[in-house]
Amino acid sequence: MGIGSLIAFLFVGAVAGWLAGKIVKGFGFGLIGNMVVGIVGALVAGILLPSLGIAIGGGIIGGIINATIGAVVMLFLIKVIKDI
């Protein structure tokens, strides 16, 4: 992975975390925390969605959509675990 790919991955994860924080109302870790969750969510979605046969698309927009799905799932799971 080159430096350009790493920067793009971090950007996509940060945007996805911000979007996930907006989607999952009433729960989040603030701007920076949600960005970290977005980056982790991007990793999760990058592994999980293709395994399930789900392909949203390519490019930056497809990456943001995939990462946002992963980040929303991560925030939801964290919220459920925290409420237990």
Hey, where are the domains in the chain? Answer: 3-83
The residues, any chain, with a CB within 8 Å of residue 70's CB and separated by 6 or more, are 16, 40, 41, 42, 43, 44, 45, 46, 48, 49
pLDDT at residue number 79: 81
Structure tokens at 2: 């080159």
pLDDT at residue number 32: 78
- Written as tens digits, the pLDDT of the chain (84 aa) is 688 888 887 888 888 888 888 888 766 677 778 778 888 887 888 888 888 888 787 788 888 888 888 888 888 888 888 877
Contact 65, 19 (CB under 8 A): no
Q: CA-CA distance, 10 to 36, in Å (whole number)?
A: 9
Instruction: For residue 69, give the nearest of 25, 11, 4, 17 by alpha carbon.
Output: 17
pLDDT at residue number 28: 63
pLDDT at residue number 27: 61
pLDDT at residue number 67: 85
